[in-house]
Homo-oligomer: A and B are copies of this chain.
């Protein structure tokens, strides 16, 4: 897979793939939401080699998804903390999790529940809304070039999500 190709694609999905890096990187972000901040915590949770993990963390810091914080400890130790850019990936993770709950695990077999701390209400769905927060019907969507569209990119014809 050529990284350069994604980089040059004028497409939000390709750009997200480019910056997040690969599957492992997304699981590193997931573990950060679960509370991991130390290299050893990510390593233990993911069971990947130190080399791969170091490379992925380096790229995530480079893209501003994590920031490194030096700790007041003996040795050259860091905490890795999600930036706002990184925390904003929670919607990507949530969309993937809800899709799996529906299509892989099935109802009542979800491995994880995410809920509002005080009310206990569960995150059950993601709703597409317009700029005023009003729901959008996903069954009647169309695609159009945006202000940053390149001449060659974009949809050949528009289709709704069909739901």
Contact = CB atoms under 8 A, between A and B. Distances in A.
Contacts of A125: 128-129, 131, 133
A110 B158 contact: no
A92 interface: yes
Interface in A104-163: 104-105, 108-118, 121-131, 133-134, 136-138, 140-150, 153-163
By size class, the interface of chain A is 35 or more
A127 B118 contact: no
A13 to B, nearest CB: 5
Nearest to A124: B131
Given A127-B126, A127-B129, A130-B124, A12 B141 contact: no
Given A91-B95, A95-B92, A136-B121, A143 B23 contact: no
Contacts of A5: 47
Contacts of A124: 129-131
A36 B10 CA distance: 18
Given A82-B162, A114-B144, A123-B130, 16 more contacts: A12-B98, A12-B105, A12-B112, A13-B26, A22-B23, A33-B159, A36-B156, A87-B161, A91-B128, A109-B148, A111-B150, A112-B145, A112-B155, A114-B141, A117-B141, A126-B128
24 contacts: A1-B24, A11-B27, A12-B98, A12-B101, A14-B27, A22-B23, A33-B155, A34-B159, A84-B163, A87-B162, A88-B102, A88-B163, A90-B138, A94-B95, A94-B128, A108-B147, A109-B148, A114-B141, A116-B136, A116-B141, A118-B140, A122-B136, A123-B128, A127-B133
